[in-house]
Amino acid sequence: MSYDQIELPDVSALRVGIIGGTGPQGRGLAYRFARAGVRVLVGSRSTERGVQAAQELNALPGVAAQAEGGDNAFACEADVVVIAVPWEGHAATVAELAPLLTRGKVVVDCVNPLGFDKQGPFALPVPEGSAAEQAATLLPEARVCAAFHHVSAVLLADPEVERVDLDVLVLGDDREAAAQVQALAGRIAGMRGVFAGRLRNAGQVEALTANLIAVNKRYKVHAGIRVTDL
Amino acid sequence: MSYDQIELPDVSALRVGIIGGTGPQGRGLAYRFARAGVRVLVGSRSTERGVQAAQELNALPGVAAQAEGGDNAFACEADVVVIAVPWEGHAATVAELAPLLTRGKVVVDCVNPLGFDKQGPFALPVPEGSAAEQAATLLPEARVCAAFHHVSAVLLADPEVERVDLDVLVLGDDREAAAQVQALAGRIAGMRGVFAGRLRNAGQVEALTANLIAVNKRYKVHAGIRVTDL
């Protein structure tokens, strides 16, 4: 068995909502999905800023599917909902949206709980083990996955970058949901969605972002990872 | 700045000792170093088994520098000492060898604190944060780095595998020591040693091995990682 032989589901009809779609990571992901022809619902705490972010996104080069904007509740109407908020507001935002993220909704957490001091970034302890597990605790009816931790917001947002060549590690306890997220990652030019374990192993994937930031600082790059032998 | 422009030190004269050189990872690393022409001191709890492991290694195809075997104390005579013991015996072994690992000795911890249950591997909590930080606590005079967590013992040990194509994430608070470890990793065909942060960010690198095991199980591969954009 190798990667190419894994059959991933057809996700061409799925809409992707972005909670925190006006932040760097959310905005960048929204742009890449829109370039890939995915219908994106850009969410923000304020409806006005969500609408504005979608308009700005639609004006960028290469957008193949017009995004729509609204508040975070609007983004929750999508088939797959990506949580891309700062760690500081993670628990509160997820708890607030919990009534909308029910009945098997696929939720993709891509939040990295990191702290920063004069020596650089470091992993913050999370009582639930990871941001993704915190989301899963707050959203017992949703199918929570973790993915898109290591994508550089700078590369995502740069219209001149045609391909973002890296693997997206996808974690989740629901294989069907994880496969959808893998397939969505695979729609973005250059990306491959690789299943990388259960949600209980999400903490180190989130925390590895601190190491990639160290790599970026040392080598002046925008590091991601590829899985070898795959 | 990019990876190729980083100047790494000349490590061609350095000897590498392997604590736990009869285990799968230690034996595999010893073989790869010997193939690369690095002088290896293979250590084991028993002198006899260390000597035997070195003899077996020297009989394998492609060995460019004959390894020597002995007990773990013998391996500590090397310039760079790799700790490749099972996590269960990590603290006891390191504490026992502490009197030999002093005065700025470069120590490379490659131990992954993992547990396994019916759902597969998971990261074990480590009071010090990581195996490497545990070693650093026990070896206050040594220059402790962390590296070689994600190398597949199967690939390392297979004489028919010419190149082990992956990046070795090297962590450490002593830049000079980390650079030596990066350079040593770079001597192994296919490998590149990438500086990936301070020792306080070693825990997630160790734990990521659980994710790579999940990848291996899912796709029937021997996964490692490459850092992109580098």
Q: How distant, in Å, are the alpha carbons of A55, A187, A223 from that of A48?
A: 11, 29, 33
User: CB contact, 8 Å: A196 with chain B?
Assistant: yes
What single-letter DSSP state applies at residue B163? -
Q: What is the mean pLDDT of chain A?
A: 96
Dump the DSSP string for B18-79.
EETTTSHHHHHHHHHHHHTT-EEEEEESSHHHHHHHHHHHHTSTT--S--EEEEHHHHTTSS
Dump the DSSP string for A7-39.
PPP--TT-EEEEETTTSHHHHHHHHHHHHTT-E
Rounded to 10°, the helix B203-219/B131-138 angle is: 150
**What is the spatial distance between Cα A43 and Cα A50, in angstroms, rounded to a whole number?**
5
Interface touch A197/B220, C-beta < 8 Å: no
Closest residue on chain A to B3 (Cα) = A219
Residue among A126, A211, A212, A217 with most chain B CBs within 10 A, to mutate: A211
Q: What is the pLDDT of residue B3?
A: 74
**pLDDT tens per residue, range A55-100:** 999 999 999 999 999 999 999 999 999 999 999 999 999 999 999 9
* Nearest by CB: A119 against B119, B121, B198: B198
Q: What is the pLDDT of residue B39?
A: 98
User: CB contact, 8 Å: A43 with chain B?
Assistant: no
Interface of B with A in 52-81 (CB under 8 A): none
Q: What is the pLDDT of residue B4?
A: 66
* Nearest by CB: B226 against A194, A198, A226: A226
Report which of A11, A26, A153, A135 is spatially closest to residue A80, judged by C-alpha positions: A11
Interface touch A225/B228, C-beta < 8 Å: yes
Tell me the domain boundaries of chain B: 5-219
Distance from CA of B138 to the nearest CA of A (A): 22
**pLDDT tens per residue, range A172-229:** 999 999 999 999 999 999 999 999 999 999 999 999 999 999 999 999 999 999 999 9
User: CB contact, 8 Å: B8 with chain A?
Assistant: no
Report which of A117, A110, A115 is spatially closest to residue A126, judged by C-alpha positions: A115
Are A16 and A82 within 8 A, CB to CB? Answer: yes
Interface of B with A in 137-176 (CB under 8 A): 152, 155, 165-166, 169, 171
Dump the DSSP string for chain A.
--GGGSPPP--TT-EEEEETTTSHHHHHHHHHHHHTT-EEEEEESSHHHHHHHHHHHHTSTT--S--EEEEHHHHTTSSEEEE---GGGHHHHHHHHGGGS-TT-EEEE----EEEETTEEEEPP-TTSSHHHHHHHH-TTSEEEE---S--HHHHH-TT-----EEEEEEES-HHHHHHHHHHHHHSTTEEEEE---GGG-HHHHHHHHHHHHHHHHHTS---EEETT-
B128: number of Cβ within 10 Å = 16
Q: Which residues of chain B have pLDDT under 50?
A: none
Report which of A77, A32, A75, A81 is spatially closest to residue A51, judged by C-alpha positions: A75
Contact residues, chain A, for B154 at CB < 8 Å: none
**pLDDT tens per residue, range B157-167:** 999 999 999 99
**pLDDT tens per residue, range A25-62:** 999 999 999 999 999 999 999 999 999 999 999 999 99
Radius of gyration of chain A (CA): 16
End-to-end CA distance of chain B: 9
Contact residues, chain B, for A129 at CB < 8 Å: none
Are B182 and B207 within 8 A, CB to CB? Answer: no
Q: What is the pLDDT of residue A2?
A: 66
Interface of A with B in 98-137 (CB under 8 A): 119-123
Interface touch A165/B194, C-beta < 8 Å: no
User: CB contact, 8 Å: A3 with chain B?
Assistant: yes
Report which of A76, A78, A24, A21 is spatially closest to residue A48, judged by C-alpha positions: A21
* Nearest by CB: A226 against B3, B204, B225: B225
Q: What amino acid is encoded at A7 in this protein?
A: E
Task: Just give the CATH number of A5-219.
Answer: 3.40.50.720
Interface touch B196/A219, C-beta < 8 Å: no
Residue among A4, A201, A205, A209 with most chain B CBs within 10 A, to mutate: A201
CB-based burial of residue A5 (10 Å sphere; 0-12 exposed, 13-18 middle, 19+ buried)? Answer: exposed
Residues in chain A: 230
* Nearest by CB: A215 against B152, B194, B222: B194
**What is the spatial distance between Cα B25 and Cα B21, in angstroms, rounded to a whole number?**
8
Interface touch A228/B227, C-beta < 8 Å: no
**What is the spatial distance between Cα A205 and Cα A170, in angstroms, rounded to a whole number?**
9
**What is the spatial distance between Cα A180 and Cα B219, in angstroms, rounded to a whole number?**
17
What single-letter DSSP state applies at residue B99? G
Are B198 and B173 within 8 A, CB to CB? Answer: yes
Q: What is the pLDDT of residue B180?
A: 97
**What is the spatial distance between Cα B146 and Cα B171, in angstroms, rounded to a whole number?**
5
Kindly indicate whether the ipTM for this predicted assembly is greater than 0.85, answering yes or no. yes
Distance from CA of B91 to the nearest CA of A (A): 22
Contact residues, chain A, for B149 at CB < 8 Å: none
The mean pLDDT of A17-21, rounded to a whole number, is 97
